[in-house]
Chains A and B, each alone.
Chain A
Amino acid sequence: MTTPGTAMPRARGIAPVRRPPGTTAAESRWLLWPPLVFFALALGFPLVTLVIQSLEGGGSAYIDALDVPAFAGSLMRTVVMAVVVMVLTMVLGTAYGLAVVASPAWLRFALLAALILSLWTSIMVRSFGWMLLELPRGAIYWFLGLFGLADEPIELYQTTLGMYPAMVAVMLPFAVLPVMSALQSLDREQLNAATIFGAGPLLTFRAVTWPQILPSVLSGGVLVFVMSLGFYVTPLLLGGPGNMTVSGVINAQMNQANRPDIGAAMSILLVGGTMIVYLIADRLFRVSEKWG
């Protein structure tokens, strides 16, 4: 019996054989350069600029940033918001993924098309779309009016409640896709086996399906949480000034308060915090494997 630990070095030892014939490590390594250069320019350069900017006052910008009362408040709000979006998206995304897999072909196509189209559409456009729905005399008001249910203009636009549906809709694909791929790779015979051995649909889901898709549900959730920390447009448009996120506060420092150093320090704190959350979550739930 070999343990994974003893099998690993052997696997590494035969790895070079799998390279296409005629290429050596040195020859194929140049393929790594284009993405590395891209990352250096697109991610590294702005990040370094931000760090330099934030350190202009000798690091005092970080202290100033933490002293801005709106920052601490928005940080708290952003994390809570990200958690709420994460939980809602995980629940809805799992249900959506199950629906896609269980549907007949035409419905599966429709569900997938809706998901992919939403993924392809700009977040700005989608947020404006939700705005049109939620305006006091918007589409929802009109629709309710058809049934005589809307006596007075609805109060949804620019409320906390109003921003969540849009944010969940924006994030949904990132929760659905990993769940769907886990469901599709599930062995059909296992479901048949559960049925044969007397399990109803509930026990089959609880005892067979759920434990095997849980890692993907979690990894989708982590991704949604991390991405939700950077929400800017949607809460701004739909949540109103009372729901300003960290991104909003950073924008205010940069463009209104004219303190780019404080804005830069806040950005670094947000990016750093997000990275720490992601790295911990990746260790715990192996997020990157589910998306690799």
Chain B
Amino acid sequence: MANPWQNSILVTDNITMQFGGLKAVSNLALNIAPRQIVGLIGPNGAGKTTAFNMITGVYKPTSGKITFDGNDITGLRPNQITELGIARTFQNIRLFSSMSVLENVLLSKHVRLKATPLEAILGLPRYTRARKRHIEECMDLLEQVQLADVAHEKATSLPYGKQRRLEIARALATQPKMILLDEPAAGMNPQESLELMEFIARIREQFGLTVLMIEHHMEVVMGICEHIVVLDHGETIAQGTPTEIQNNQQVIEAYLGAVDESA
């Protein structure tokens, strides 16, 4: 068993990312249990997205080791990590602009196709049947996230909130064990944020997911996260339950105060 911590799904063993002379993230140690919702917070430039990029394989950590579900995933390609069960959304929405909502979601089934391109070109049953099944599965998923009515609209023509939801749906379609959300509530009003919280809690239950999210909206973070990690200048300055974090003097100084002013 490669996993030294029992009951952990994701363990980052002191991962560090260095760009030239700049340490974007240093010695980040996360230990996340299955089905937990964990918040990663910190001021702008604290290294949160860099941490996501290391976990999802966009960057290879300069040092340290990442273990997911018993597999060492350090330095694997993003697509390999997705196949192992980590899905993600992006801070700046990255939908496929030429495709419809359904096609965006359907794409995540591509790696699960057993057929060959030749079968697809000739329209042989092994391909068409699988494709039909995938379309049905994706329509079901869109049904569950209340996007079925816009399934054939162009993805980028949706209103902002729905685009965010579509990004999450697209990530869910890869059938992940864990999902990484990069500022899912960015640009949302309090009402929308509230709906998003409910949505995240619901998909966690429904799909048995572990959630790691970067978020600036404190109501969202404090509302649903069971565990919070605070980064500042790449350093982990605190970890703990929402109450612990809210009462942590260092965090208040480094971060919460600043947010209250700007909020």
A and B from one assembly? no
Residues of A within 8 A of B (CB): none
